[in-house]
Amino acid sequence: MPADPTPAHRFRKFATVVGLCAAVGVMTTAVSYSVTLYRLFCQATGAYGTTERAASNDTAQSARTVTVSFNTDVAPGMPWRFVPVQNSVTVHLGQEALVFFEAENLSDHAIVGHATFNVTPDRVGLYFKKIQCFCFTEERLGPHQKVEMPVDFFVDPRMESDVDAKVVHDITLSYTFFESRQPEGAQDLARFANRPPDPVAGHTLFATVCSACHAPDHNKVGPMLDGVMGRRAGSVPGYPYSTALAQAGITWDADTLDKWLAGPQHFIPGAEMPFSLPDAVRRRDVIAYLATLKPTHTAGQATPPDNPHPG
């Protein structure tokens, strides 16, 4: 008959069993949370073009610019239409930019979606910072509902110090919407459709799409915009307006500015401004921002245009 195991032998057997159980537990946990852990790794390192989240933008703006293009898709079988409102924007490194994406539920029932995202080239993922994005949460869209969703971002100027990333001049931000596997607690995308005009968002939009030609306090390619609300069209001293705009006989208010931004040549035939904002949500925000610009120049104090161009 074999002798009873010694206490030391029994302890070693017990320790072996405990160790095996712990290893199985660790492996089970790793498998269960592998997607979450992988996502956290990518977000921390920018691997595979994963962007980073930022609470705000406190970086200094660089003279260097990059062009950011937008790409969208939906998973097979998901009955959504999902497109960027703008195809691309050109921004300075460190400049906060606000862009919009449009989603429409083509089905007869509410659907909760979750967006995955990345940027290319992969090496700039570490420097692409999102302040606000619909991709951070599960999102519910009602039957046949259509909304525009904002993405607030900037490209970190530290990209210039990265030998691999500093040669990049074109970035593509891509999204794919999947039907969510965790629909509980999803936010309703209707919050974007029902919000009032936002002058803060309008300020960011102005800097993104309007500031190349306009400034609040001096003439550039276009006339200065301080005090534009309530001002007669074509009346900034020293600016070479087109005849059509100078003789339009209109006063700028929320309604006339909305029509002008929607289509300058359609609103005032013969006007020469080449840019329009066909998106109503963006127009409302920009107009809300313009309403905050109070007059800072009296007649005769307006500076000459940087680059005269009638419009």
* CATH architecture for the domain at 48-190: Sandwich (2.60)
pLDDT digits (tens, 9 = 90+) for 253-278: 999 999 999 999 999 999 989 889 98
Helix (H) or strand (E) holding 20: helix 7-32
Mean pLDDT of 209-217: 91
Q: Give helix 280-290 / helix 254-262 axis angle, nearest 10°.
A: 130
Specify the CATH number of the domain 199-290. Answer: 1.10.760.10
Mean pLDDT of 20-42: 44
Whole-angstrom Cα distance, residue 96 to residue 130? 9
Instruction: Delimit the domains of the chain by residue range.
Output: 1-32, 48-190, 199-290
Please list, in sequence order, all residues whose beta carbon lies within 8 angstroms of the beta carbon of residue 252, skipping any fewer than 6 positions away.
Answer: 228, 229, 230, 231, 232, 233, 260
pLDDT digits (tens, 9 = 90+) for 109-147: 999 999 999 999 999 999 999 998 998 889 999 999 999
Cα→Cα distances 25→37, 246, 251, Å: 16, 77, 72
**What local confidence, expressed as pLDDT, does residue 203 receive?**
94
Whole-angstrom Cα distance, residue 32 to residue 184? 19
| pLDDT at 6 > cutoff 50 | yes
Q: Reduce the DSSP state of residue 91 to 3 states and report it.
A: strand
- Domain 48-190 matches domain 199-290 at the CATH topology level: no
Average pLDDT along the chain: 83
